[in-house]
Structures are given as structure tokens and as C-alpha cells.
Amino acid sequence: MKSYTTRAVAFVASAAMLALTACSAGSSTSGGSSTGADQSLSLGLVAEPASLDFTTTDGAAIPQVLLGNVYESLVKQDESGKIVPSLAKSWTVSPDRKTYTFDLVDNAKFTNDKPFTAADAVFSINRVKSAWTTSLKSAMDVVAGAKALSPTQLQVTLTKPSNGWLFRMTTRIGAMFSETGVSALATAPIGTGPYKFSKWNRGDSIVLQRNDGYWGTKPQFQQITLKYFKDPTALNNALLTGTINVITTVQAPEALSQFTGNEKYQVIEGTTNGEVLLSFNNSKPVFRDLRTRQAIRQAIDHKALLDTCFAGRGKLIGSMVPPTDPWYEDLTSVAPYDVAKAKSLLQASGAAGATLRLRLPTLPYAISCGQVVKSQLEQVGLKVQIDQQEFPAAWLTTVFKSADYDMSIIAHVEPRDLGAVFSPTYYTRYNDPELQQYLAAADAGDEAAQLDNMKKAGRRLSEQAAGDWLFLLPNLIVADKNLTGLPQNAITENFDLSRLARS
Amino acid sequence: MRRLNPSLVAGGVIVGVIALMALLSFVWTPYDATLVNPSGRLAMPSWEHWFGTDKFGRDVFSQIMVGSRTTLFVGVVAVGVAAVIGVPLGVLAAMTPRWPSELIMRTNDLMLAFPALLLAIMFGAVFGASTLTAMVAIGIASVPSFARVIRSGALQVMRTEYVLAARAAGRKPFPIAARHVLPNVTSLITVQASVSFAIAVLAEAALSFLGYGTPPPTPSWGRMLQESQEFLFSAPRLAVFPGIAIAVAVLGFNLLGDGLRDRFDPKLEDRR
């Protein structure tokens, strides 16, 4: 009798548990109606940020998610690269080009409910100088001071005229922070953008919720999940199985054919700012000889490399300037593929037989290209040791911060980053006074002088072989057919989520 | 005269061929296994390239040959690590009084309950992906099975009359272990090593597939499989050849282990 009772109790308990499970499953489905399939979107990305604080942590992955979506800047770039209003409705520049006066929107507020005012802009600009620790903070060195003329009017004074400063204000440097919202930037960012940060499942995803108090046009999707994938095939499979709706950057272009012929998907192919750079540690004795650097550039068959490691998609550029910049010129002929010349240059410089450490971030394109680079450099008499560094944490620490490397491969996706990447303090450790002169003249001069000097700077880099530009990453996006608002070209630091919609 | 054991023969032949292939790859491969040849990428199997070429234009057959080195090297070191730690632990557990023996075996059970691949991935994440990390991790994960098998064998030896006589004669535990126990569990060690070898081969392939094993450009069967993923629709042969190599190697070591076990324990064979 006791046995029957026990079994009955167990059965009832099991049934109750099943019922509860069913209820909870149902409730999550019904609860999902507010963030259901038409209200939520999942995007697949490759490189997960190491932190959410781009004021202290380098790397493009943080502004890619947060800039323009959670944080906003005074001005932003449109898809053609033109500087357009954002939190500043309009602005004027004084005749001496040293004073900028911004008229700010009056209805923006941070997600901590504090209104955005000129005082916040002053705080944000000053904070770049006082609290930021990343290398990009130098872009604000030209600012002499910022003051709030009224709650909606901001005046910024520069120490000298600068063509680059306003452009830099469209990047992460220009992000506006609330004075009361910077205590936990690494885990809880607070901005004025169309989305607010919701949660970060480390190693998996970042979730953003629509900011219903947004001052501008509200985005269509209530929730956007950014899912990170280390394996490019897993990323492709996630779209095929409906786990995600967008592959923001295709990393396995050889497998693109599975989407191109499929009417469920759209494939967008455009251009980017992402120069895939074979960087040299120019502080190492072996790289101080121009002939060695030139030999490495001429030992690499760039066309074959692009075909092999990125299925021929992308563009050969020959320097640090993408075609979307006004001062672009095709510099691929500066260092043509010439094995015999490369060998003789190495013999002349005495670097033949030298062993170089190629420290690669664990990013699919870097691992692929690294194997081609190693093979081609070994054919001209160099020895190359490949060493993988977990990206971002280990690579940022070892290569980027400590410059403990000989060569590396990574895409630099920041817009107009020529001067930042090739400076004595950056991980390339490139110290070239002539280049700095061109950059200074470009920044201070009029539009024609800027164009002329930036062209000279691009050519100088290429001729001095400060690095080797393997190719320019294409903007390869695959998404559900009915999604609109995806960028044709990726020329800004951020992936604009606010324009995404279902048709 | 005893008839030849088919498992032993088949396993021995397969393992022998793999070992020969690995040795031969030190002095000859059809092509340099790491030489990138963009103009000859994704070539179909032909007389020039028996297994075709991969996306880098590298000869797949040469990669399989050199990859067998990685496989055997990982297997030898991993099994070595497992044996060096596991065998003394097993003998110790058999020869010590109850509570130290229980402590060793329960700790062993704890380790046995931990998934081997997960342990190896943790090692890879902490110490970085490399062949060495994979070898040590797989070796450590194989320690419990060695210890368990060797303990049971050692317990049987400890009950034999000659060991009892040696103990009665006042021989110390260490000489007993060295002179009587270890020589009598050698067959068990050999069989367990062969079985663990098969597991190590599979584990190395899995780790390299997941990116926690042998880093590029050193050829590895698991990484060849991983790199072939993007070509599953356009060039599935790139997955087939390393896949077959892994399957055959695992089969070979398992058959060899089976055959050795039958050989050392004929009673088991007769029961079939």
C-alpha cells in the first residue's frame, strides 16, 4: 500500500513539474510577443570586445557595437563619408578655423534620465584628455578648451586650425557621456543613443534594448542581440539555421555560394576602411633597414594572397588609404611582386636567413593570410615562426601594448587612421619625421593642402614600406531577404543598428 | 602452434603503415606540406596530387603524411604521460593499506568523471593552443583509466604465493613492486597504452578541429578537417581524406589493443 502511495506522489510531482515546465515554456513564448520575431533581431559578429569601455580599452569591437547605437557624438558620418549633424543640430567655424560653435539638440537625454546639455559635451571633451588611456586620445590634443555658452550651445577652441579634429569627433573620441554615467563604463555604458545596453553574456552575446525615450527617430526593433562567433563556418551555419538574421561580416567567403543562390537571403558587397596590415615592429633592428622592409613587401604576391585567403574578394590598395578617402591613389605598383628583387634586397641588407615571429590574432582572416605570408617569405630566404595570440585579450597585451612581436596581421578599421597607426607610440613603433610633417601640413592647411599632403603621406608610407597592406577588407553582409537599412559600405567605426527594419 | 589473431594482424599492419608513413615524411613527401601554391589551389585528385590540393594550394597527401607525425607524436607523449603517472598510482593503490588506497582511487574516480575533452579545452584556454598543451592535457585525462586497470592487475599479483612469500621474507614494498608486480602487469600496460593511443588520436583531432590543438601551419588531421568546413559543398574531398585518416588510425590502434589483449589473455580469446 505504501509503495502505491509513494508512486502516486511521485507521479503527481512529476506531472506537476511537467505542467510547470509547460507553463514556463508558454509564458516565455507569450512574453516574447513584445520582443517576438518581428520585434527582435540577432546579428552575428566575429570579434567580441574585451571590455565595453573604449576610453580605456583599444579595439574596434567596442565602438562597432556602442557608437551611434548606445553613445552618440555631436556629429557623425553618413554613408558617403560626409560629416552630418547628430547631437549638434548645426555648427559654425570661425574665420581663423580655431573656434567651433555647436548648437545642440534640446530634447536628448541619457538612459540614466539626465538631460544632455552643453555641460555634458564639455565634460566629455575634457575627459578624453584627463581620463582616456587609449592611444586614440591624442586626437583631442589640439583642443585648447571647451565651454558651455548655454545649455544648448557649446564652444570649442583649438590651439591651431585642424582639418582632422571635426572628423575625429565622428569617431569614438566624440562620444558624449553623462557626468553621472561613467562609473561603470566597462560593464554598464550610458548614452543618449537609440538603443540602451541591456546585458552582456561574456563569450556569447551582447543584448541592446530600444531606448523608448530616444530624442530622434525611434528604431523599429525593440531588442537586438549581437552574437559572437569564433568559427566562420559556425557563423554561416547560424544564419542558415535561423539563429541569427545577419552576418555582419562574412569570414568564410569561399562558402558564400550557399547564400548567393538562395532566395531567403540577400548578399551585400561593398567596401570598408579595413586595411589588412602586415605590420612590422619598426623598433626592431631587423626592420630599421628599408631594404628589408621593401624585400618583404616585394616577396608577397598580393593578388594570389587575396585569392587564397579571402576568395579574391576585397581590394589591393598598396598603402593605408582606402578608396573612399578623398586622397586615395592606387599605390599597388610601388612594391610589385618580384621574388628575385626581394632576395637581392635581403642579401644587401644582411637579413637573409633571419627568423621573424609572426604573431597572429586568432581571427580567421589573419590565420589564413599568415600561412600564405609565411610560405611566401620563406621562399625568399626568411624564416617565419607563426605564433597565435588569443584575440582580443592576449593579442592586445602582447602585440598592441607591449610591442612584443616582429610582424603581425590585423585589419585597421578606424576611419582615416593613417597618422594614428604609423606613429612612434603605436604598436608599429614607426618614427618618420617626414611623414609627421606631411600629416601636420595636411591637418593645418586648406582643403587643397590637405589633399596634397595626405597623398604625399600615403605615398611616403608605401615607399618607406612602413608595413605591408595585404588588401582592403570587403563589406560582405548576408542577411534575411526582408531586412533593410544595412550599410552598402562600412566606412565608419560603428555598425548602425538604428536604421535596420523589416520591409 | 597458436593461430594468428586477425585483430592483432590488422591493427599491427595499420599502425605499422601509419608509423612508416610518419617516418617516411621526415625524408620524403611528394611536395612540401606547408608550401602555399595559389595557382594550384583546390585541384582535384590527379597523378600530380593524389588527394588533390587545399585552398592554399598545398598537397593534401603530403599534409596527411606529415599530419601522421603529429598524430603519432601526440599519441606517444600523451600515453607516456598517462603511463608515467597512472601506473605508479595504480600499483601504489594496490599495495597500500585501505585508506590511502581508497583516497587514491576516489580521487581517480573524480578525475574519471571529468570529461577529457573539456579538460583539454580548459588547458588550451589557459596555456594557449599548442601541440604540447594538447598532449599533456590528453595524457592527464588518460591517467585515471591507466591507474584503475593497473590497480586491478596489481591486486591479483599481490595475492600470488610468490609475493606473499616475498612479504613474509621481509622484502620491502618497493623491491616487491619493482621485481614482482610491475613485470607482471606489463601486458596490461601494453594493452591499455594501445587503447589510450586510439583515444589520444581522436582527442588531438577534436582539439585541433576546435582550434585548441596543433596551430597552423603544422599539418594536423583535425585542423585539416576544420579548414575543410567552408568547402563542404564545393570540395567535400578536403574533409574526406583527413576524416578517413583519423578513422583508420583509431581503428588500427583499437584493433591492435584488442589483439594484444587477446594475445596476453588467451583464455579470453578461447571464450569467443
Alpha carbon of A268: minimum distance to chain B alpha carbons (Å): 19
**Mean pLDDT of the region B156-185:** 89
Name every chain A residue with its beta carbon within 8 A of the beta carbon of B38.
Answer: 301, 304-305, 307-308, 372
Strand intervals (E) in A362-448: 383-389, 407-412
Instruction: Check B217 against A308: CB less than 8 A apart.
Output: no
pLDDT at A292: 97
Quick one: fold of A2-189+481-502? Dipeptide-binding Protein; domain 1 (3.90.76)
Core vs surface per residue A210-231: b (16+ CB within 10 A) or e:
bbeebbbeebbbbbbbbbbbbb
**Mean pLDDT of the region A342-369:** 94
Contacts of A220 by beta carbon, 8 Å cutoff, 6+ apart: A500, A501, A502
Instruction: Check A305 against B57: CB less than 8 A apart.
Output: no
Q: Does residue A43 have a pLDDT over 80?
A: yes
Question: What class is the A272-474 domain?
Answer: alpha beta
Question: Which residues make beta-bridge pairs with A147?
Answer: A155
Residue of A nearest to B228 (CA): A233
Q: Are A465 and A293 in contact (CB under 8 A)?
A: yes
Q: pLDDT (tens digit, 9 = 90+) per residue, B74-101?
A: 999 999 999 999 999 999 999 888 888 8
**Mean pLDDT of the region B24-43:** 92
Q: Which residue has the higher pLDDT, B272 or A140?
A: A140
Query: What is the Rg, in whole angstroms, of the alpha carbon atoms belonging to chain B?
Result: 22
Alpha carbon of B229: minimum distance to chain A alpha carbons (Å): 7
pLDDT at A245: 96
Q: Are B213 and B207 in contact (CB under 8 A)?
A: yes
Residue A480 DSSP label? E
pLDDT at B96: 87
pLDDT at B1: 54
Q: How far is CA A433 from the centre of its chain?
A: 28
- What end-to-end distance do the CA atoms of chain B give, in Å? 19
Alpha-carbon distance of B179 to A134, in angstroms, equals 66
Residue B178 DSSP label? I
Alpha carbon of A259: minimum distance to chain B alpha carbons (Å): 12
Q: pLDDT (tens digit, 9 = 90+) per residue, B216-267?
A: 888 999 999 998 988 888 899 999 999 999 999 999 999 998 898 888 775 5
Q: Mark out the alpha helices in chain B (DSSP H runs).
A: 6-27, 60-95, 98-113, 116-127, 131-158, 161-168, 173-176, 182-210, 221-227, 237-264, 266-270
Q: Which residues of A touch B (CB under 8 A)?
A: 230-233, 236, 252, 254-255, 257-258, 301, 304-305, 307-308, 362, 367, 370-372, 374-376, 386-388, 390, 394
Instruction: Check A304 against B216: CB less than 8 A apart.
Output: no
Instruction: Check B39 against A372: CB less than 8 A apart.
Output: no
Q: pLDDT (tens digit, 9 = 90+) per residue, A123-138?
A: 999 999 999 998 888 8
pLDDT at A4: 44
Instruction: Check B217 against A386: CB less than 8 A apart.
Output: yes
Under the banding of pLDDT at 50, 70 and 90, the label for residue B167 is confident
Using a 10 angstrom Cβ sphere, with 0-12 exposed, 13-18 middle and 19 or more buried, the burial of residue B197 is: buried
pLDDT at A454: 97
Q: Are A236 and A247 in contact (CB under 8 A)?
A: yes
Taking Cα atoms as reference points, which of A38, A46, A475 lies closest to residue A236?
A46
**Mean pLDDT of the region A432-436:** 96
Domains of chain A: which residue ranges? 2-189+481-502, 272-474
- Per DSSP, the residues of A346-364 read HHHHT-TT-EEEEEEES-H
Alpha-carbon distance of A374 to A263, in angstroms, equals 40
Query: By three-state DSSP, how is residue A57 classified?
Result: coil
Q: Are B137 and B124 in contact (CB under 8 A)?
A: yes
Alpha carbon of A314: minimum distance to chain B alpha carbons (Å): 16
Q: pLDDT (tens digit, 9 = 90+) per residue, A254-294?
A: 888 889 888 999 999 999 999 999 999 999 999 999 999 99
Closest partner CB to A371 (pick from B36, B229, B231): B36
Q: What ipTM was estimated for this complex? A: 0.78
Closest partner CB to B38 (pick from A257, A307, A374): A307
Q: Does residue B118 have a pLDDT over 90?
A: no
- Per DSSP, the residues of A79-146 read TTS-EEESSEEEEEE-TTS-EEEEEEPSS-B-TTSPBP-HHHHHHHHHHHHHT--SGGGGGGTTEEEE
pLDDT at B2: 61
Closest partner CB to A308 (pick from B41, B231, B234): B41
Q: Does residue A16 have a pLDDT over 50?
A: no
Under the banding of pLDDT at 50, 70 and 90, the label for residue A17 is very low
Instruction: Check A370 against B35: CB less than 8 A apart.
Output: no
pTM: 0.83
Question: Which residues make beta-bridge pairs with A103?
Answer: A90, A153
Contacts of A310 by beta carbon, 8 Å cutoff, 6+ apart: A253, A365, A368, A369, A471, A473, A474
Alpha carbon of A278: minimum distance to chain B alpha carbons (Å): 17
Q: Are A319 and A459 in contact (CB under 8 A)?
A: yes
Q: pLDDT (tens digit, 9 = 90+) per residue, A397-411?
A: 999 999 999 999 999
Q: Which residues of B touch A (CB under 8 A)?
A: 34-36, 38-39, 41, 55-57, 128-129, 211, 215-217, 229-234
Alpha carbon of B234: minimum distance to chain A alpha carbons (Å): 8
pLDDT at B233: 82
Q: Does residue A8 have a pLDDT over 80?
A: no
Identify from B53, B229, B234, B238 which residue to disrupt to test chain A contact, counting A C-beta atoms within 10 A and taking the largest count. B229
List C-alpha distances in Å: A86 to A169, A170, A415.
11, 9, 18
Q: How far is CA B83 from the centre of its chain?
A: 11
Residue type, A146: A
Residue A172 DSSP label? G
Q: Does residue A38 have a pLDDT over 80?
A: no
Taking Cα atoms as reference points, which of B51, B72, B40 lies closest to residue B204?
B72
Backbone angles phi, psi at A332, to 5 degrees: -70, -20
Instruction: Check A252 against B230: CB less than 8 A apart.
Output: yes
| A2-189+481-502 matches A272-474 in fold | no
Q: Does residue A11 have a pLDDT over 60?
A: no
pLDDT at A288: 94
Name every chain A residue with its beta carbon within 8 A of the beta carbon of B121.
Answer: none
pLDDT at A13: 42
Taking Cα atoms as reference points, which of A434, A378, A373, A438 lies closest to residue A408?
A373
Neighbours of A119 (CB within 10 A): 15
Q: Does residue A19 have a pLDDT over 60?
A: no
pLDDT, averaged across chain A = 90
pLDDT, averaged across chain B = 89
User: Which residue segments constitute the domains of chain B, with CATH numbers given?
Assistant: 6-18+53-271 (1.10.3720.10)
Q: Does residue A27 have a pLDDT over 80?
A: no
Q: Does residue A21 have a pLDDT over 70?
A: no
Using a 10 angstrom Cβ sphere, with 0-12 exposed, 13-18 middle and 19 or more buried, the burial of residue B152 is: middle
Alpha carbon of A162: minimum distance to chain B alpha carbons (Å): 45
Name every chain B residue with its beta carbon within 8 A of the beta carbon of A376.
Answer: 36
Report the percentage of chain B scoring pLDDT > 70: 96
Q: Does residue A35 have a pLDDT over 90?
A: no
Alpha-carbon distance of B186 to B191, in angstroms, equals 9
Instruction: Check B129 against A388: CB less than 8 A apart.
Output: yes
Contacts of A193 by beta carbon, 8 Å cutoff, 6+ apart: A66, A68, A69, A70, A71, A72, A211, A214, A498
